[in-house]
Amino acid sequence: MDDVHEKSRGKMSSVEGVPMVEYFVANWEEKQNFETRPDDLLLATYPKAGTTWIQEITDLVYSNGDVNFCQRAPSYIRFPFLEFTVPPSFNRQSGVDILNKMESPRMIKTHLPYQLVPKGFWEKDCKVIYVARNAKDIVVSYYYFGLMDETEPHPGTWETYVERFLAGKLGWGSWWDHVKGWWENKDKHPILYLFYEDMKENLQREVQKIIKFLEKDISDEVIDKIVHHTSFDSMKTNKMTNYSTLPSMNQSISPFLRKGEVGDWKNHLTVAQSEAFDALYDKHFTGRSLKFKHTLP
């Protein structure tokens, strides 16, 4: 691992009580005052919930299934990351700098919890697609990501990592607050709330929901093409979606498109750890309509 990058692995800081890597907190005012446009589409997720997946689907929907058009640049260029900033040694522009120069329509990535989203998105009535994934699979995916992505703080041991996740101390804070915050506010704005597990269960059905939400008219033949192109296997071998062009990710440690399954948590969480998740689900979700699947039939 390159020494310069290893030394610049971020330390944690926070914004309004939400933990975030220190670089991402930098220039916070510029991020909060981000100038939105009415045709911006915000793609919001807690980390590892299927961001890259929804990005590729959306790009194909916008381009009426034009697979060649979606090869124009890697995901991290096509969908600038709103709160992204890293030190100069990584030689990458901030999300806001890229977005300010980008032509419309822009598709924008964010991991921000609902309450930290720049107000401009709501003032301009921008559409938002939020994708949620169950917490147990998230923590596994997030841990492997922390091992291989040099812009992330080092994850440490698996045991302490799980504890920090449960305590809401990892980047972008409590998963429970994140999924709840977006769920409880989804009817106030044009927000489509999707689940990773539903996408795994029936991608065609979920793509149809996205098409309807984005008010596009797309033939069944093109929908089939979108479903095929956004399968895990297709995206894993696609250089424009698999992050293989990004030097700060050491994919020999763990690939970005790692397993893409529902239920891999069973190979990682102990019974006690899994029960600690269940207790938090009960605490946060009892009596609410928000439900998560942890396995598929």
C-alpha closest to that of 152 among 254, 285, 8: 8
x/- track of binding to ligand PPS for residues 212-231 (CB under 6 A):
------------------xx
> Which is closer to ligand PPS, CB of 232 or CB of 281?
232
Contacts of 259 (CB under 8 A, 6+ apart): none
- Least distance (Å) from ligand PPS to the CB of residue 129? 12
- Least distance (Å) from ligand PPS to the CB of residue 6? 19
Site for ligand PPS in 51-90 (CB under 6 A): 51-53
User: Checking DSSP bridges between strand 41-45 and strand 107-110, what pairing results, if any?
Assistant: parallel
Site for ligand PPS in 230-269 (CB under 6 A): 230-232, 235, 257-260, 264
> Which of these ranges, 27-35, 48-56, 216-224, 285-293, lies near ligand PPS under the rule CB under 6 A?
48-56
Report which secondary-structure segment, H or E, holds 59.
helix 51-62
> Which is closer to ligand PPS, CB of 36 or CB of 151?
151
Residue in the block written with tokens 């999924």? 179
Query: How far is Cα 174 from Cα 17, in angstroms, rounded to an integer?
Result: 10
What are residue 143's phi and psi, to 5 degrees? Answer: -65, -50
The answer to whether 155 and 261 are in contact (CB under 8 A) is no
Q: Using the rule CB under 6 A, is 110 a contact of ligand PPS?
A: no
DSSP secondary structure code for residue 49 in this structure? S
Instruction: Kindly list the catalytic residues.
Output: 111
Footprint on this chain of ligand PPS (rule: CB under 6 A): 45, 47-53, 137, 141, 144-145, 230-232, 235, 257-260, 264
